[in-house]
Amino acid sequence: MNAFAPSLETIERLVSPERPVSAFVHDLDELDRHARQLVSALPPEVDFFYAIKANNDALILKTLAPIVAGFEVASVGEIRKVREAVGSGARIIMGGPARTATDFEAVIDHAVERVHIESIHLLHLAEAVAAAQNVTLSILLRINLTGPVPGATITMGGKPTQFGIDEGEIDEAISTLVACPHLRCEGFHLHTVSNNLDATAHADFCLEALRRARRIADRHGLDLRIVNLGGGWGVDYADIDRLFDFERLATRLRSVIEPDGPRIQFECGRIMVAYCAVYVSEVVDVKTNHGEAFALLRGGSHHFRLPSAWRHRHPFRVVEREKWPWKWPRRGHANRCVTVTGELCTPKDVLLCAEPFSRLRIGDLVCFLLAGAYGWDISHHDFLSNAHPERIFLPIRQAQGHLSKVEGKGEI
């Protein structure tokens, strides 16, 4: 079992006893173990970066810093978060589609190692900023591959999207480099697939992307030093024990790595942090309306937007609690389908849709597993201005400084 799933005793030891439970709980030891397992599977020619948009908490970045090659960021704010959490020594690479001159200035100011360029206009803009400061910027060209791309199911590329330079325009982009003496193009970036559950299909995609990168470089006599194959290693929310087969991907990569070939980079977010956290929330009311059963949580999609954003069934556990402090009888649902919603005044605030429960009562906890990636970080925290969840990081001793910063948090 890879998923962190704390017991009732652990949850009750950690959360504030004074109000209904609403918390993200992270296990940093589990994150450390999982990250080492992923990174150590890869051949030495491969660098594994962490894409911080999945979860940019400082304690997550600090935990990963000694394990990963560096951090992939997509904004100046993310550059600052890395620098503040792990200092000036961390390697940073930057991507993202809608760059401005300010972004390229920040790349220079914060010593970002390399920036991924997504259009011909942005090549000119990066050159102008670098020339004005008389520095050289290392870049990769992000290619939006001409489809069909083998192994690419949910894609950012291989189909019309706002990302990257169309493969049909890549010759023009490389010709533009002649007019950009302050840019050093070291290769290509091909983040194309999101949440790929099939490691064999992902390996097919990676090998094809490497072939195309090699072909384009050869056509232009470009010294191909780096091919970044993006992120997209999947997390199976429907089968939490089935881990993406990264060993298989690594084996396929080993079969094509040449000693004098380019360095290969990955920049994964989801697979790195999904498993290490839960979002746990207390049922604060139950009701039946128009024949359908509902349970309402202290929290909702403003804390944990992933299930509604992806419209998927998110894995969860019910953590039953016997404590009942009130004089009136405790209400609940038994042996029926219940829709679990949050506290927002919108019918869209649904976390679980008509899910069968043997029992779910006011005061029980619903614990969403695999909540570490794209959970808190993609949610609209201040819509309706409800109190934020507690954000708790185990092991507790290491995390104490952080805990004390959480507003209203009592002593543990």
Ligand X SMILES: *Cc1c(COP(=O)(O)O)cnc(C)c1O
The answer to the question of residue 95 lying near ligand X (CB under 6 A) is yes
Instruction: Answer yes or no whether residue 235 interacts with ligand X by CB under 6 A.
Output: no
Instruction: State the Cα–Cα distance between residues 299 and 297, nearest whole angstrom.
Output: 5
DSSP H/E element including 29: helix 28-40
Instruction: Indicate the residue among 22 and 63 with the shorter CB distance to ligand X.
Output: 63
Q: How far is the CB of 264 from ligand X (least distance, A)?
A: 14
CB nearer to ligand X: pick between 268 and 276: 268
Query: What is the amino acid identity at position 339?
Result: T
231 forms part of the interface with ligand X (CB under 6 A): yes
Nearest to ligand X of 162, 175 (CB atom): 162
Closer by beta carbon to ligand X, 195 or else 308: 195
Residues that bind ligand X (rule: CB under 6 A) add up to a total of: 16
Please give the radius of gyration of the chain, using alpha carbons only, rounded to the nearest integer.
Answer: 23
DSSP code at position 373: S
Note whether 191 binds ligand X by CB under 6 A. yes
Closest CA relative to residue 74, chosen from 50, 58, 90: 50
Catalytic site residue from 180, 268, 337, 345: 345
Told to judge if 337 belongs to the known catalytic residues of this protein, a careful annotator would answer: no
- Helix, strand, coil percentages for the chain (3-state, nearest 5): 35, 25, 40
The mark string for 55-94 relative to ligand X (x by CB under 6 A, - otherwise) is: -----------------x----------------------
Which helix (H) or strand (E) element contains residue 80? helix 76-86
Residue 111 tokens read as: 């010593």
300 scored as a contact of ligand X (CB under 6 A): no
Residue choice 81, 270, 333, 391 for contact with ligand X (CB under 6 A): 270
Based on the shown chain and the rule CB under 6 A, indicate whether residue 269 belongs to the binding site for ligand X.
yes
> Quick check: 23 and 14 in contact, CB under 8 A?
yes
Report the alpha-carbon distance of residue 62 to residue 66 in Å, rounded.
Answer: 8
- Minimal distance in Å, beta carbon 219 to ligand X? 24
User: Which residues, listed in sequence order, are joined to residue 183 by a DSSP beta bridge?
Assistant: 137
**CA-wise closest residue to 299 among 285, 317, 319:** 285
| 400: Cα separation from own chain's centroid | 25
Name the residue among 241, 191, 237 with its Cα closest to residue 372.
237
Window 40-59: residues binding ligand X (CB under 6 A): 51, 53-54
Q: Minimal CB distance to ligand X: which residue? A: 231
Stretch that binds ligand X, among 16-24, 60-68, 224-232, 316-324 (CB under 6 A): 224-232
Sole residue written with tokens 């993310």? 78
Nearer to ligand X, 231 or 332 (CB): 231
- Positions marked active-site: 345
Interface residues with ligand X (CB under 6 A) are: 51, 53-54, 72, 95, 191, 194-195, 230-233, 267-270
